[in-house]
Amino acid sequence: MSQTTKTTYHIPIGPIHPALKEPVYFEFEIDGERIVDVDVKLGHVHRAVEWASRKRNPIQIMYLAERICGICSYCHPAAFTLAVEKAADIQVPERAEYLRVIQAEVERITSHALWAGVAAHEIGFDTVLFLTWEMREKLMDLTEFLCGNRVTKGILTIGGIRRDITSDMVPKVTGVLDYLKDNFERLRKIFLDDKTIKMRAQGAGILTNDNALKLCAVGPTTRASGVKKDVRVGQSYFAYGDLNIDYVTPDTLTGEVNGDVYDRIIQRLLEIKQSIDLIEQCLDKMPKGDITYEPKIAKVLNQLKKAEGEGVGRHEAPRGEVIHYVKLDGNEAPFTWKVRAPTYNNILPWIPMLKGEQIADIPIVAASTDPCMSCTNRVGIVKDGNKYELTKEELHRLSVEKTRRLMR
Partner 1 sequence: MTKENNLTPDVIIKSFKDKFKTKIIDAQIKKKPAGSEKKEAIDIWMKVDKSVFKNVIKHLCDLQYPHLPVASGNDLGKNIELIYHFTLNFDKRLEEINLNISVELPKSKPEIETICDLIPGALITEREKQEFLGVKIKGIPDDRRVFLPDDFPKDVYPWRRDEKGLEKLYKNLHEVKK
| 89 versus 126: smaller Cβ distance to partner 1 | 89
Among 1, 2, 4, 43, binds partner 1 (CB under 8 A): 43
| Residue 5 touching partner 1 (CB under 8 A) | no
What's the DSSP call for residue 193?
I
Nearest CB to partner 1, comparing residues 63 and 335: 335
What gap in Å lies between CA 158 and CA 138, rounded to an integer? Answer: 29
- Is residue 49 a contact point for partner 1 (CB under 8 A)? no
* 229 is a contact residue toward partner 1 (CB under 8 A): yes
> Which residues between 328 and 367 bind partner 1 (CB under 8 A)?
335-336, 338, 340, 344-345, 347-348
Residue 247 and residue 233: Cα distance in Å, rounded? 7
Closest CA to 164 of 109, 111, 102: 102
Alpha-carbon distance 154 to 162, whole Å?
8
Phi, psi of 21 (to 5 degrees): -80, -15
Does residue 300 belong to the site contacting partner 1 (CB under 8 A)?
A: no
Name the helix (H) or strand (E) containing 226: none
C-beta of 242 vs 294, nearer to partner 1: 242
Size of the site for partner 1 (CB under 8 A): 54
Give the contacts of 21 (CB within 8 A, at least 6 positions apart).
Answer: 71, 118, 371, 372, 373, 374, 375
The piece of 175-183, 223-231, 257-265, 354-362 that touches partner 1 (CB under 8 A) is: 223-231
Q: Helix (H, G, I), strand (E, B), or coil: what is residue 245?
A: coil
Residue 240 within binding range of partner 1, rule CB under 8 A:
yes
CA 145 to chain centre: 22
242 forms part of the interface with partner 1 (CB under 8 A):
yes
**Is 37 an interacting residue with respect to partner 1 (CB under 8 A)?**
no
For the CB of residue 174, give the shortest distance to partner 1 in the complex, in Å. Answer: 21
Starting from the edge strand earliest in sequence, which strands make up the sheet with 34-41, in order?
Answer: 34-41, 25-31, 9-13, 378-383, 386-391
With H, G, I as helix, E, B as strand and everything else as coil, classify residue 68.
coil
Query: Quick one: which segment of 28-36, 56-64, 156-164, 304-312 binds partner 1 (CB under 8 A)?
Result: 304-312
* Residues at the interface with partner 1 (CB under 8 A): 41-43, 46, 48, 50-51, 85-86, 91-92, 94, 97, 213-218, 227-231, 233-242, 246-247, 285, 287, 310-312, 314, 321, 323, 325, 327, 335-336, 338, 340, 344-345, 347-348
